[in-house]
Chain A
Amino acid sequence: MKIDRLASDSSSGGLRQGWNRFWFSPVEAMQLHRLRVLAGLVFLVWMLAFTNQQGAFLSLQGWFDRDAYLELSRKETLVQSAPAPVGWSIFYLADGNGSLFQSLYWGGVAIIALFTLGVMPRLTGILTWVVVVSITANPAVSFDADFLMVILAFYLMVGYAFMGLWQSGRSPLERIFGPHDALVFTWFRKHRAPAPRSYAANFAIRMLQVHFAVVLVASGVAKLQLPDWWAGVAYWYPLHPPFQTTAESYAREQGYAPLYLAGLSLAQYIALAWQIGFPAFAWRGGRWRIVLISGGVIGWLGSLFLLGLPLFGPFYFIGCLSYLRDEEWRRISGWFGNRTGRGAEKPFRAAADANKIKVGTQ
């Protein structure tokens, strides 16, 4: 069975070396680039879905207006009963200025699009995080999964803030705005260079992995504190929305309720076991990858179709993908035609070999 470096660290070189290998060894920067593109697409869909309603959701003239914020800030009891803490937002800068607000909103969309494409990622990464945090500021429409988007944006920002700074050969512009090879368009060149290795990419991915595992375990354990989850009937409720359930449909279901509820409770406990046991298999290779990825996919489909919730699914899926290693990504790239995988580097490597250049990838 293949086991990731983390699992083998303690036996092969002691705790300190294991720690260093886990956090401070370089990986192909492409790993972070792929996560960035996926997360960027989710951010874009999330933000564009508010189009025509952006003022209502995000501005101080919207559903939760300036007066409401002022009242909230004056009463401690209100702050405690609010579903989310009130924080900062760049959209508040517009106050009552509609044009400025629209400029900030569409500017935010443009920044996220540029970051997704990999344009000046050091700069756009920071700005993307600012935009993502700003979207989550309205406590009246606060959604749990919004905070998961902040996690993605934060670690991507950290990764790109430091990527390439410890690598010789970067131009001054790249040192300021971020590495050029982050640009999506460069991945499809016929003779592109091998993906550089990066400490920052590894550090950001490891931070995301650990935080993702914390999210899963904490939410899984918290569910077990709720009677409906312990009783195994938690999935019953989203499948029986009160306004769609009638006395007749309820009476019909009573006939086969024990079997039906046994199936639901089993499915629920399998999901809980996946969540709580996540750290035990997330860093393992081999067949555990099927458990990892299929759990992410089922989590996405379940949260969307069973619970009718956006954003949770993409976060789970991207979180699971963050555990894949270089060679696993290459294998997946191979399934999709190898356009962005190592195969595209072959002509370059062949040319380098022909010219007797030593290819160094640390």
Chain B
Amino acid sequence: MPNIALDGPRPLPTWIKIVGSIVVAAHFLAIGGVVLNARSGPWVPGTPPLAGPQFAAPIDEAASPYLLALRMTHTYRFRVDHPTPSVYFEAHLKDARGEHIKTLKFPDPKANFWVRHRQQLLTDGLFGDSLVPPPQGERLGAPPKTYWEPQDKQMVLKTVPEHLVPRSGNVMSPSEWSLLVAKSYAQYLCRTHGAASAEIVRHSRDIVLPPTLLPPPPPGKDRAEAPPALFEELVFNFGVYRRED
């Protein structure tokens, strides 16, 4: 009887090498297609990001089902490489009579490092506001538009027909994703804390620019001054979500 400790593996037949080579080539061609087809930019402010090279698109498309099943669709353009504003949010829970039960803050400073990190990821999902382009006219059957409107030192959500969105040009709207996350998380909090409703309020501060990126100092001053708005905390109220089950 052969001893496994002493027997080396038999030489590989050619057909295994051919099959293995095809697998390797196809696998990394698929990954290369996804990586190359990643969108980049926006290179010009206000324009959408650009797609990858034309030759990569069909490879990406063909490989998608395979890589989706393996959960390998990442393009390795990491979100953490982008400077993003700091965000936390509060959830004000109320009972059926409308009385305040408790206020929870996320990320929870008392949570362990790993849980706090996941809470931060959830919280980051509440960000992602975008500029609303001014309406060009009145479209028939256009869906209503939700945007942020200032009210009592905070921004609140307002939903109006599309043609009634202010034309000031600096109107911001929450992302669809952030509204979905806020709603889902509010429902979770209501279920786990026995609350009837949860009000989600996002607090954020913009990134602190390095001094070298500040505008040049005014005449007579030797250094540029940071604008006060740089350290201002912004409050965005997602509104009250009622328990649905």
Are A362 and B9 also in contact (CB < 8 A) when A65-B187, A169-B3, A237-B207 are?
Answer: yes
Looking at the complex, which one of A62, A83, A194, A348 makes contact with B177 (CB distance below 8 Å)? A83
- Residue numbers in A under 8 Å from B83 (CB-CB): 228, 234, 237
The A290-315 residues at the B interface (CB cut-off 8 A) are: 307-310, 312
Number of interface residues of B (CB under 8 A): 79
| CB-based contact A226/B82 at 8 Å | yes
The B54-108 residues at the A interface (CB cut-off 8 A) are: 68-83, 85-86, 88
The A185-237 residues at the B interface (CB cut-off 8 A) are: 193-194, 196-199, 203, 207, 210-211, 214-215, 218-219, 222-223, 225-226, 228-229, 231, 233-234, 236-237
Looking at the complex, which one of B10, B68, B117 makes contact with A85 (CB distance below 8 Å)? B68
Number of interface residues of A (CB under 8 A): 100
Task: Give the most central of B113, B210, B223: most A CB within 10 Å.
Answer: B210
B77 nearest CB neighbor, chain A only: A222
| CB-based contact B210/A63 at 8 Å | no
Q: Is B218 part of the binding interface, using a Cβ–Cβ cutoff of 8 Å? A: no
Looking at the complex, which one of A78, A309, A361 makes contact with B180 (CB distance below 8 Å)? A78
The B121-170 residues at the A interface (CB cut-off 8 A) are: 121-122, 125, 128
| CB-based contact B122/A140 at 8 Å | yes
- Residue numbers in B under 8 Å from A194 (CB-CB): 5-6
A233 nearest CB neighbor, chain B only: B210
- Closest-CB distance, B234 to chain A (whole angstroms): 10
| CB-based contact B76/A222 at 8 Å | yes
- Residue numbers in B under 8 Å from A203 (CB-CB): 20
| CB-based contact B210/A199 at 8 Å | no
The A61-89 residues at the B interface (CB cut-off 8 A) are: 61-65, 67-68, 71-72, 75, 77-78, 81-83, 85, 87-88
Looking at the complex, which one of A214, A251, A312, A348 makes contact with B28 (CB distance below 8 Å)? A214
Are A307 and B68 also in contact (CB < 8 A) when A167-B4, A233-B210, A352-B6 are?
Answer: no
The B154-198 residues at the A interface (CB cut-off 8 A) are: 175-177, 180-181, 183-185, 187-188, 191
Interface string of B21-61 (1 = CB under 8 A from A): 10010011001100100101100000000000000000000
Q: Is A20 part of the binding interface, using a Cβ–Cβ cutoff of 8 Å? A: yes
How distant is the Cα of A199 from the Cα of B17 in the complex, in angstroms? 11
- Taking Cβ atoms with an 8 Å cutoff, the residues of B that contact A are 1-10, 12, 16-17, 20-21, 24, 27-28, 31-32, 35, 38, 40-41, 68-83, 85-86, 88, 112-115, 117-118, 121-122, 125, 128, 175-177, 180-181, 183-185, 187-188, 191, 205-208, 210-213, 223-224, 226, 228, 230-231, 244
Q: 6 tightest A-B contacts by CB?
A: A193-B5, A362-B8, A49-B114, A242-B205, A169-B4, A68-B184
- Taking Cβ atoms with an 8 Å cutoff, the residues of A that contact B are 19-20, 23-24, 26, 46, 49-50, 53, 56-57, 61-65, 67-68, 71-72, 75, 77-78, 81-83, 85, 87-88, 133, 136, 140-144, 147, 150-151, 154, 166-170, 174, 179, 181, 193-194, 196-199, 203, 207, 210-211, 214-215, 218-219, 222-223, 225-226, 228-229, 231, 233-234, 236-237, 240-243, 245-247, 250-251, 253-254, 257-258, 261, 307-310, 312, 348, 352, 357-362
Cross-chain pairs A/B with CB under 8 angstroms, 13 sampled:
A24-B17, A53-B118, A67-B244, A81-B175, A143-B118, A143-B121, A144-B80, A167-B8, A167-B10, A223-B81, A242-B85, A247-B228, A258-B212
